[in-house]
Every structure is written in C-alpha cells, then in structure tokens.
Structure 1
Amino acid sequence: MSSKSVQGQEPRALWTPPADWRMSTRIGAFAEFLKARRGISINGYDDLWRFSVGDLDGFWTSVWDFFQVAGVPAPGPAVADPPGAVLPGTRWFPQARLNYARHLLVDADPQRTLDGDIAVVAHSQTRDRVTLTFAELRSEVAKVQAGLLRLGVGKGDRVAAYLPNIPETLIAFLATASLGAVWSACAPEFGVRSVVDRFSQVQPKVLLAVSGYRYGQKKMDRRTEVTRIAAELPSVQHVVHVPYGEFTEASDDLPVPLIDWSELGPEASGSAEVAFEEVPFEHPLYVLFSSGTTGKPKAIVHGHGGILLEHLKNHALSWDLGPGDRLLWFATTAWMMWNSLVSALLVRSSIVMIDGDVLHPDLSMQWRLASETGTTHMGLSPGFIMATRKAGVAPGKAYDLSRIRHLASAGSPLPVEGYEWVADEFPGVLLNVGSGGTDVCSGIVQGSPLQTVWAGEISGPSLGVKAQAFNDHSQPVVGELGELVITEPMPSMPVGFWGDADGSRYRAAYFEHFPGVWRHGDWVRFSERGSAVVTGRSDATLNRGGVRLGTAEFYRVVEELPEVAEALVVHLESPDGGMGELLLYTVLTPGNELTDILRARIARELRTALSPRHTPDSIIATPTIPHTRTGKKLELPVKRLLQGKSRDEVATPGSLADDSALDFYVAEAAARAAGGTA
C-alpha cells in the first residue's frame, strides 16, 4: 500500500500497536475468541475489519457471545431473511429478547464480583462530589423504577428529562429503560421552545426536571422554564422535581401534580430489587434529536439491541475499556456523547460525570479533574485540544496523568498540529480520533489499539462499519474527497424517526441521494491505507470553480495564527459556475485588529499552505462565530443568510448555543443586499 498520506504528503506515524496486542488489549482477546470459536485467524486490524463487514451474521453473533448478552448464546441469525442485509430495512436478531439496562446492571457482572467498585464519580459546580458503586447504582435504579411504576409508566411510555449530567439522570434513564419505556433528554440550558420542539414529538407521560444549577459562578434559575415546558406538553401527567444543590424549591403553578425525587421508591412492602422488561431487539431505548438548526429537530429512535451491541463493540474493542478503567468525557445530556459515556458501564468501566463550565476557573479544569479521579480514558473536543496547545498549557507536566493510556477526540476535525501536540505531551498514549454522530450514536471512522495513528488522519473505518467515500456517480473513490457513506447495515442505525409511520422522512434523510446506501452528510478522503480525513459537512463544503474544498483545511491554517481566535469560511457560488465569492470571517484574539497587513498575511498563509483557490476574496472581522449546542460551527446558516434567506428560515430560535451569534451576519446580509458593507 502507499505510504503517502491522504493529502499527498508523507505522514508521521505517532503510535503503533503493541507487539503483545493479543494479550494486552480487549480487541486482542476478541481476536483470540474468534480463533477458538470460529477458527478465524486475525493477524491485524484489516483482517478483523474485513470479517466484520463481510460476514455480518458471523461478526455480530460473535459480539453477542463474546459479551454474553442476555446471558445466553446469540438467538438465531443476526440478520432476518427476508429482507436480508438491505438498506434501509434490515431486521437484526428477530428472535432476541433483551434489555439494555439489564446488561448494564446485571449481565455485565452476573456474580456481582465488582459490586463494591466505583461506578460513577460526579463532579459538579452546584454541589459536592458524588460517588456511587455499582451496587448502589442498581439499588437507586430499583427505587426510581418503583416510583415510575406508581406514576403509571410502562412499556412504550415516554419519560422526558430536563436534567444536567448528574447521577440522578443516569438513574432515571436506567429505570426508564428497565421498564421498556422510552427515554429522551434535554440539558437545562435549553430554552423553552427548543425543549418543546423536541419533547412534543414524543409526548412524554412524565417530566423530570431540576429547578436550577450553577454554571461556573453563575446561578441559573429554571423554575419559570419548567412551568412553561410542562404547560406546553399536554401529554405530561406528572412532573418529578430533582433537588440539586441549593436549588431545592420546585417550580410554581405547575399544571400537573408535582412529585419530589425523594418520593420515588417502593411502597413499604415493595421490592427493592430492579426488574426488567425483556423487549425485542429494535424496541425503542431512547430518542435523540438532531440540532434542529433549520427546522424542527429530527426525533431519531435508537433501539435496545442496536445500542447495546454497538456500544459493547465500540467501548471494549475500539476504546479498550473494561473493569478498572475510568472514562472522563464532558458531555451534556442532549448530546449523544452522554449516551456513549454512560455505556462505559456496560463493560464495567467507571465514568466521570461533569456538570458546569469546563473552562471555570481556567482552561486546566478538566486536566486537574482527570488527575484527581485517576482517569484512564479521556475524551476531548478538538477545540479544547487546540486551545490547550495554543495557551501553552502542559498538562502532562503540571498534573499526574500517569494513568491515562487512551485519549479520544471527536465532534469536529482535529488539525495535524493537535495530533502532534498530544503525541509530544503524552508519549505512548493512544490518540483515538473519531467521527460519527447522533444518527448512529457511535463512531463511523476512528482508531483502536490495533491501528497505527498517523498525524492528521483518522485511523480507519470502525469495526462493523463499511464506510467509504462516494463520488457524484455513486462510485467509491480513494485519494480524493467524496461523500461519507455506509454501504452495509449496522445495528445502531436508527429504528426510524418518531412519528414517521411510513418511514418516508427516514429514507429521505439518509438514502435518497444514493439509493440503498447510507449518506452520512460528511465530506471525507480515504487513503490507500484506509485512513481518513473528514473535512467538514458536505452541505458546507466549498465548490470553487469545480474544485471542492473542505472547511476544516481553512481552520487548521487560520486558527494557528496567534492573532486569530476562531474563523468561519463561506463560499457564495457564481450562477455561471465561476469561482464565486469566498468569505472568511475571523474572531481576533484580544488586543488585535484586522489590519490590511494581517489580511495579507492570512491570505498568504492560506495560499502557501493550501492553494491559490483557498485565498479568500474578503476577510472580515466578526465578534463571534455561531455554533450548535454541541460546539459545531454553523457555516450553512451564515451562507443562507448572505444568500438572502431570513433569520427564521436559516435557524430555529433556541437551536444555537447563543442565538445572538447570528446578529452580526444578519446585519452583514442586509448591508450586502443594500450594496454596502456591514
């Protein structure tokens, strides 16, 4: 295979698999399991990946058996025939009956030998630290399950949570899942409209909520919001108030009965043991929502079986998590990374839950917490890695992070400089950069202990995921940009969209562009080695004179400049197919101004590092860059504003991290329309 990187340059190998991978890693143990059970010889990641996508029944039944799902061998074929392994419409394990919560609370450790181990370490800026053992977690779930049963919650009912990333949220989720009810959550920083747009689609029977929280030094009272949310959800029959730190008073004037969290529990004669409703493989576990930037959020339904198998595979085989490990990954309850975080408990790893401002009191807060909690696996956003690097923080020297052996990063592309910084700061630590999303609630491309890490590149497709790049003619391409697609089914593809009875919206979202093939919506380039570079969303990719340019490439160059804190690039196409207009918006670091000298320097850096086509026609200073609530830049809404769309057409109020971030661009669009400048 070629040794050239996906950008045509010789990549630097930052990390290589250990020689004893068969004995020292969980993916190695799985390879040995396959050899013993199926007589399959696995000599490296490529062998295992080809088996995982070439024999779906063999791979996924092996995952089931390796992790002893439901305590029984895999029941019958993994893929129902008919319809077989088709997209969309694959039916997985049609004979199975299981429960996600049962595996997490019981089947992962049937002899309860790890009951005394710490399951949860919860750090909060609202109250003191909380810890739970696995036994305590199971006991708390049993209590809340009993309370939900008394409130009339049963199989198929929906339970909604307006809660932060705290143990009570985890407990309520598992209690809901144990009953076969369906979970959905929004973080309490969401505004009323954002919450109602989401929860109204699933019509919850019970709403759990806090009345406030602290964000850094800010006190956030949410009682009014809870009252309004409950009033706009006619399906809600009870509101459960979760006291949180100083926020002990519930909302006033609720339209339905109020229950305190402490009142959830068994009657005096009731059982304190958790029971489980066994459900079909595809039975809804939870509903996750898309960002809803340009309309009502998609209500994405994930099933018990698909999430259970995918997360067992992902967390143990790709992330190498297991008993004795501890995962720290900051996430809010509205982001799929929260669902991924709590799934670490499936493999008896413990987790660190964080609620609050992770930049308070300073940039090193997460590093200190990792040191204090003995974290072994840490998830970081690319933005946080680059900010730490730019600030000159040296966490590996400042704190005892000797237990860390796996650093993960996802959410947006990580520049090559970020890879190199991690390699220099944490010698010998595996950097696992991935890309996936809410749609599959997992990674599509990422690394593992069995893959080389190349600077600036994601190691390759995940196990069980036949990811490729397609050109406009539905042909797979290597060495050039294309649409990220998945050409074979995977169990954690959504069961569907809530309320989409005939599946038409689901099919249109993923399978309309390439019939029978999942189109993910990212722009990617694969190398001949199988490594990948995701350059941004395909709907935000720039097409300049027929040449496609990924937005991540711009940011890598521009945001390295000390004068630039952040940037956003937009391309306005020319009707005649010409070069169009390339606009670069920059947020400057304190004390800097966008002078002609700085403009010329930015243009020169882009032209030299990338190409003349990457040279902006205009470079404009802006006070802020708009982001989703999960931190992704919003190039497309800005582009549509500049093309003449109204504010309400390009972004639903409440869908952005800060709605006022669009103010500048609204004014910019108006000035351009009037023939002037903002």
Structure 2
Amino acid sequence: FDDPVYILFTSGTTGKPKAIVQGFGVHLNHLKETVLHCDLKKNDVCFVYTNAAWMLWHWMTATLAIGLTLVLYDGSPAPGGDWSTLWRVCEREGVTYFGCGAKLLDATQAAAVSRKALIPKLPQLRLITSTGSPLSIKGAAWVNQQFLDSRPRLSSLCGGTELNGCLAIGCPILPVFENELQCPPLGMDVAVLNDRGHRVRNSLGELCCFTPSPSMPVFFWGDNEGKRYTSAYFERFSPSIWAHGDLAEQSSRSGFFVRGRSDATLNPGGVRLGTSEYYELLAAHFASDIMDSVVVDVQNVGVVLFVVLSKLSHGPVPTELVKAVKRKLKEQLSPKHVPRHIVRVTQIPLNQNMKKMEVLVKRICNDRPREEWSDMLDNLFDKSAIEDFLTWAKDQRRTPSARL
C-alpha cells in the first residue's frame, strides 16, 4: 500500500492546497465504498458530475473495475441556465446511479420549483449520492418527491481528498433518515469527540477516526519530515486519532449529521454552532428571497450573516426580511443563533468545486494579515467574490462604533 499511485491536491478552502500522495490502497477503498456501500453492479450505468481535479473523479473512474458503464460529461451543469441538462443526460443514457455535489441538487430543486426546468422522472434510477457540503432539507425532499416512480436511495457522503474516500457514507440495507448520513464506512471506527476527547452522541464535536484506512495518504509531497501531515490531522487529540476537521453530531442510530468545517465554527458566548444549520434554515424558509449566504464569527462583533438576495435591487437587506430571518433563527434554532448583522453582498466566494470558502471569509472579516489568506485566492472560482467582504472589513476598521 506504500507504493505511490498519484498526487491529489486538496480544494484549498482552509489554506494552501495540500499535495496528497496516495498509495495503492486507495483502489481497495474505492471498491469497498462503491461495491458494498453503494451496491453498484456490472449492469449499472454510472454518471458522477465532477471535474478531473476533484477526488470524485478518481472515485468515479474506479467503478470501471466493477465492469459497469461510465458516462462522462464535459461542460456546464446548466448551459444557458437550463438545470434539466444533466438529468436529460441521465434519461438518454439510462443512468442508474447519479452522483453530484449538494449545491447542484439544491440549484435543480430551485429551478424545478420555479418551473424554470422540466426534470424527467428517470424510472431506471436507483441511487443518487450527494457530497461536497450538507444537502439542504428542501433539496432532499425534492429528490424524494421528483423520483417517486423509481424511489432511488438518496445517500449523502462525507469524506475528503486526504482519504480519497469517506468517513460517513450510505448503506443499502439501512433506512435513510432526513438529513442524516447513514453510517461509518466498513472497517473504520468513526466517532464524534467533544473538546475533552470523549466520544459523544447527539452533541456537537469533532468528526474523528480511530482506525487506519487503506486510503490514508502515504505522505504529503514536499513534507519530508511529515510535520504538515501530522499537524493537519493528528495534533487535535492524539497521534493515533485522525481529526478530520468537520463539526458533526452522531445520532443514537450511529448515523451522522455534518454541521460544517471545524475552523469555520461559530462560537457566540462560548457556544459552538455549526454553519450548516443557518444554510438549511434559509433554504427551507427564505429560498425566494435569499439565493446564497455565508455566516462567520467576527471578533468584537459577533455572528455576521452575509446574504445574496434574489431580487436585483440595490441597498441593504430590507428591514422586514432582517426581522423575519432573525425571528425564525431564534424560534427554530436558539437565541444564540441570531446574527448581530445581516449584510448584503453580490456573491459568495466559492472554490473550483463550488464549496463555500468560509475560512477565507472569516479571516478577511476578522482583518487577518493578507499572508494568512492569500494562498486561498488561487482556488477561488471568481476572484472578484471577495470584494464586498474586503469593503465590509475596511468599513469596520474605519468606524469602530459599527462593532457595538
């Protein structure tokens, strides 16, 4: 397993991308996940929408070892704004397994609800996987409603480039519960630890693994002494515990809820809050008003929610919308979740895989030195996306009273 196979670069959402040298064991891990957890077979037709720079590309191409048929697509997921495009490819090619990022499912749901896209029913479809970020409750509900004829299993995955695989995954013989990742992968002792390093259930903590995986990195390229590898994953609790960097909860059923990145965690009044809770609530109750959002904790200010509004008007977020969002957060989550400010921006910084770059936003808004976040800029999908946040941080410096 120590023979290098290829180098993968992490997405760069939390800093300079890591050059991960993967060993031969990664192929064994891919087969475990695709054959046993996804239940893929020789007669399946597999279509995973991904680019070649994402670990999903390697995960997808590994399915050729099963002998199934692979569908490749090169281009925008919604050319000309048509979010039915990929689903029509599924219909034409007889796809039985479709995989994508959660944001694609959420975007398709929004287009379908507004009748901007006519999505085929796909009676042959038996599995849909979602990854990259937590899938919204509305997105999951739409999948279940849209494909009533085939009733495909909707399986959310959580893992990373570092493992080229999963830490939480689906299972064909277990029930699927709303917004919950079904189980840890076979052969991996995955748990959620609190700040004292104790396993906890139904409580926020760090997503960790106690057992080695055949797809663990052999080393980081250029990290000759292993210092960056060790500091990235093994310093949080113990040299024998892999801390993945995700904030999560483990249910009494042994499934998982992923609440966001640990380094993007909000901490108002010493209470840890996951960012995904905000995104789920906004998608469920304010989808017609708010297109996208990012929430960060700013020192001496508190929680700040930045939103992209659906309407193309100018000016701040309407007062009535601010009140409605704060009221809903207080009622459905807690008073601690209510942001100090709700600020309008033109777009949210995303990386090349369409993941929100929360850590970048957090460092800019906390007025951290540029050298602490400049490495992340190379992976921005649109570099102009940070302009509104730079302006907001500059205004905070100029008018300290705005922090009060």
CA distance in 2, matches of 1:647, 1:328: 40
Aligned to 2:249: 525
Under a length normalisation based on structure 1, what TM-score does the superposition of the two structures give?
0.56
CA distance in 1, matches of 2:112, 2:87: 14
Alignment of 1:358-369 (within 5 A): 358-361=77-80, 362-369=82-89
Aligned to 2:136: 415
Q: Rg: which structure is higher?
A: 1
Of the three residues 37, 47, 67, the one matched with 1:318 is 37
Q: What amino acid is the match of 1:420?
A: A
Q: What amino acid is the match of 1:439?
A: E
Aligned to 1:273: none
Contact 2:233 2:244 in 1 (8 A): yes
SS in structure 1 at match of 2:217 = coil
CA distance in 2, matches of 1:396, 1:616: 34
Contact 2:202 2:252 in 1 (8 A): yes
Instruction: State the 1:299 CA deviation.
Output: 0.7
Q: What amino acid is the match of 1:506?
A: Y
SS in structure 1 at match of 2:199 = coil
Aligned to 2:302: 581
Q: Within the alignment, does 1:658 sit opposite 2:382 as a pair?
A: yes
Instruction: State the 1:396 CA deviation.
Output: 12
Aligned to 2:279: 555
Aligned to 1:671: 395
SS in structure 1 at match of 2:379 = coil
CA deviations on 1:117-155 (whole Å, 9 max, x unpaired) are xxxxxxxxxxxxxxxxxxxxxxxxxxxxxxxxxxxxxxx
Aligned to 2:341: 618
Aligned to 1:197: none
Q: Within the alignment, does 1:642 sit opposite 2:361 as a pair?
A: no
Q: Within the alignment, does 1:380 sit opposite 2:100 as a pair?
A: yes
Aligned to 1:401: 122
Q: What amino acid is the match of 1:572?
A: V
Instruction: State the 1:608 CA deviation.
Output: 1.5
Distance 1:635 1:296, change over 3 A: closer
Q: Within the alignment, does 1:287 sit opposite 2:7 as a pair?
A: yes
Instruction: State the 1:504 CA deviation.
Output: 2.0
CA distance in 2, matches of 1:300, 1:612: 41
Contact 1:559 1:567 in 2 (8 A): no
CA distance in 2, matches of 1:417, 1:293: 25
Instruction: State the 1:554 CA deviation.
Output: 0.2
RMSD of the TM alignment (CA)?
2.0
CA distance in 1, matches of 2:179, 2:12: 30
Aligned to 2:65: 346
SS in structure 2 at match of 1:454 = coil
Gaps of 5+ in 2: none
Q: What amino acid is the match of 2:65?
A: L
Q: What amino acid is the match of 2:135?
A: L
CA distance in 2, matches of 1:518, 1:461: 14
SS in structure 1 at match of 2:122 = coil
Q: What amino acid is the match of 1:426?
A: F
Q: What amino acid is the match of 2:46?
A: L
Distance 1:670 1:355, change over 3 A: same
CA distance in 1, matches of 2:201, 2:14: 32
SS in structure 1 at match of 2:293 = strand
Deviates further, 530-539 or 424-433: 424-433
SS in structure 2 at match of 1:636 = helix
Q: What amino acid is the match of 1:521?
A: G
Q: What amino acid is the match of 2:318?
A: T
CA distance in 2, matches of 1:442, 1:294: 19
Q: Within the alignment, does 1:479 sit opposite 2:198 as a pair?
A: no
Of the three residues 128, 145, 152, the one matched with 1:424 is 145
Instruction: State the 1:398 CA deviation.
Output: 4.3
CA deviations on 1:402-447 (whole Å, 9 max, x unpaired) are 1110011001011223222222222321111111010101111011
Contact 1:417 1:456 in 2 (8 A): no
Instruction: State the 1:350 CA deviation.
Output: 1.6
Alignment of 1:41-60 (within 5 A): none
Alignment of 1:423-502 (within 5 A): 423-427=144-148, 428-502=151-225
Q: What amino acid is the match of 2:133?
A: S
CA deviations on 1:26-59 (whole Å, 9 max, x unpaired) are xxxxxxxxxxxxxxxxxxxxxxxxxxxxxxxxxx
CA distance in 1, matches of 2:184, 2:118: 33
Alignment of 1:57-76 (within 5 A): none
Under a length normalisation based on structure 2, what TM-score does the superposition of the two structures give?
0.92
Gaps of 5+ in 1: 1-280, 575-579
The 4+ residue runs of structure 1 with deviation greater than 6 A are: 394-397
CA deviations on 1:296-346 (whole Å, 9 max, x unpaired) are 421101111x11110111110111112111111111111101111111101
